[in-house]
Chains A and B, each alone.
Chain A
Amino acid sequence: MMLRGLWKLTWIELKIFLREPLGAVGTIVVPVLVFLVVGRLLGRGLAPSALAANTFIGVGLPVLASVLIAVSSVLSLVTIISIYREGGILKRLRATPLRPQTILSAHVVVKLLLTAATLGLMLLAGKRYYPVCVHAPLFGFTIALLISTWSVLSIGFLIASIVPTARFAQPIGAFIMYPMIAFSGLFVPVVLLPPAMRAVARVLPLTYAVSLLEGIWKGDAWSSHLGDVAALVVVFVICTAISAKVFRWE
């Protein structure tokens, strides 16, 4: 019964999202285009051997693009939840037999679907125009990105539970999420950071997401990244537990 509600709600929320002006364009088309343009500009004229040697184009850029997709879906989730709360939509949904977790799950599923779709398109397009994609394990990487997004979305819930109004949701979310990218080891490997920053990086969930994504992209076995997956699961459990306590419906 509740599964039927979850399925219906997810499907409707997905349709509603795609009806938003810039909904599909902003989430799917723009990241794919940016990825292609940057990849072509940087990769032009480099021999394949040089591409492999250049870790930013070879590994950093695809992972950065993926992390940006994840972060943008978190920000979008934070905004939607706060708009729904401010407009009384959450309250109206709660005055039904719907369980709160069903309502929230529907949004998570929508975000995961959009993330997977964006990534899929990015990689398909990349296979043609962007040589490093050819050898990347697409299926494994998609799974890694879904696990990362799912975990990072729980941070989104925590932010959404705390921000007072919809107006603040997007800036506060961005203020929390974007610095995480700087610390995540994407630009400077975590081991090379000064000790204080390294300590910060170790507690930020995005660090583990980046480590997992880079590893899988480079062809590492999942067994060597179980620690990253475990860390992401722990983040999910903690954030979900806290937001369940402090979540406000109105």
Chain B
Amino acid sequence: MKKIEAIIKPFKLDDVKEALTGAGIIGMTVSEVRGFGRQKGHTEMYRGGEYTVDFLPKMKVEVVVSDGLVDKVVALITVAAKTGSIGDGKVFVEPLEEAVRIRTGERGDNAV
């Protein structure tokens, strides 16, 4: 069981969701986040003055899958979220100890 965490461009969220649901992934959690990587921030103008926005808006997609699906899901996200320009984001994979489905009490892969 692994947790896959992808930081992507907000307008790519629909593409990523389609790709994952199309491949049979039936659940995910998304949140609006802010941050920067190599892209750094960018500048905006207001009343003739420039200012820097350091933390850019991104979407974080979290998916928990059984070990066998990890490579497939990472590949799907990478393809779906890619524009080729700087700031496309990152995918992180972490081991996950336990999962519980609250309604039934099922545990492990069955709960995912």
A and B associate in one complex:
no
Question: Which B residues form the contact surface with A (CB < 8 A)?
Answer: none
Question: Which A residues form the contact surface with B (CB < 8 A)?
Answer: none
